[in-house]
């Protein structure tokens, strides 16, 4: 049946989508363009199948694809969330000094700077606030940023002073 350049098709839908609702097949009526009608008929001839079966298979395949994409997207989002949590944990200003100190061996120097975000000293754990003077560790390989407070840098510059402070 033609209606203003569109063809009315009767399509039977079944499969896993209908099993959850009702085991009987259902009729679906829809209008499609002449171009789509010709494409469906060509595909049906190529497959030597009825047009209704081609339409059913295309719809089921499209729904399966969308479902798979959504599931994959949710898995990717969950992995990204976990990765972001792990990264923020390793570069968190509240990271324990012992965790951060393990990465100090890779540092070959310290660059003085003024902080634009809160951080923590990688050696003693002191809070470093926005606007504070701090020293960022420089390393050859990528890694989370490590910072030292002024007191810890002073101890690095004058290692003998540490012994005097302890006595």
Domains and CATH numbers, the chain: 2-88 (no CATH), 93-166 (3.30.1740)
Task: Classify residue 102 by its DSSP letter.
Answer: G
Model pTM? Answer: 0.38
Closest CA relative to residue 123, chosen from 104, 144, 142, 143: 104
**Is 118 in contact with 91 (CB distance < 8 Å)?**
no
Residue 70 has a pLDDT of 87
Which alpha helices (H) appear in the chain, and where do they start and end? 16-19, 34-47, 51-90, 97-101, 150-157, 159-166
Q: Residue 161 is encoded by which pair of tokens?
A: 């002073």
pLDDT digits (tens, 9 = 90+) for 51-77: 989 999 999 999 999 898 888 888 887
Confidence check: pLDDT of 47 > 60: yes
pLDDT tier for residue 95 given thresholds of 50, 70 and 90: very low
User: Is 19's pLDDT higher than 60?
Assistant: no
Count of CB atoms situated within 10 Å of the CB of 121: 23
Quote the tokens at residue 106.
């890779």
Residue with tokens 């792990």: 86
**pLDDT tens readout for residues 116-140:** 999 999 989 999 999 999 999 998 8
| b/e map 17-29, b = 16+ CB within 10 Å | eeeeeeeeeeeee
């Amino acid at each position: 049946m033609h209606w203003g350049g569109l063809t009315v098709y009767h399509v039977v839908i079944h499969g896993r989508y209908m099993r959850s609702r009702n085991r009987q097949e259902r009729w679906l009526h829809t209008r499609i363009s002449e171009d789509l009608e010709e494409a469906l008929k060509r595909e049906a001839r190529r497959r030597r199948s009825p047009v209704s079966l081609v339409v059913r298979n295309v719809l089921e395949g499209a729904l399966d694809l969308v479902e798979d994409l959504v599931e994959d997207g949710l898995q990717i989002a969950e992995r990204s969330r976990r990765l972001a949590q792990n990264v923020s944990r390793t570069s968190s200003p509240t990271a324990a000094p012992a965790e951060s100190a393990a990465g100090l061996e890779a540092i070959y120097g310290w660059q003085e700077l003024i902080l634009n975000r809160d951080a923590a000293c990688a050696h003693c754990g002191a809070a470093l606030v926005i606007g504070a003077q701090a020293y960022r560790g420089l390393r050859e390989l990528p890694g989370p940023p490590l910072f030292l407070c002024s007191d810890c840098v002073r101890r690095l510059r004058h290692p003998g002073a540490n012994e005097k402070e302890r006595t």
